[in-house]
Amino acid sequence: MGFVEFREIIAWLKDDYGLGLGHARAIAHVIRHGAVTEKPSRAQK
């Protein structure tokens, strides 16, 4: 799924932007899979 591996994205975010592992993983997930664009309904909360 894509040309860049997950660990490469994490390394790039940590090296270039000084992010910690948790934040880098969260952003890498959005880069690879997209962001959630729908608000959950009251029943889903």
Query: What is the token pair recorded at 16?
Result: 């270039």
Question: Are 13 and 24 spatial neighbours (Cβ–Cβ below 8 Å)?
Answer: yes
Range list of H helices, 1-45: 6-17, 21-33
The predicted-structure confidence for 1-19, as pLDDT tens digits, reads as follows 567 899 999 999 999 999 9
pLDDT of residue 36: 81
Q: What is the pTM of this model?
A: 0.70
Domain spans of the chain, in order of start = 1-45
- What is the rounded distance in angstroms from the CA atom of residue 39 to the CA atom of residue 45? 10
pLDDT of residue 16: 97
Query: Taking Cα atoms as reference points, which of 26, 30, 10 lies closest to residue 18?
Result: 10
Query: Taking Cα atoms as reference points, which of 39, 7, 1, 35 lies closest to residue 21?
Result: 7
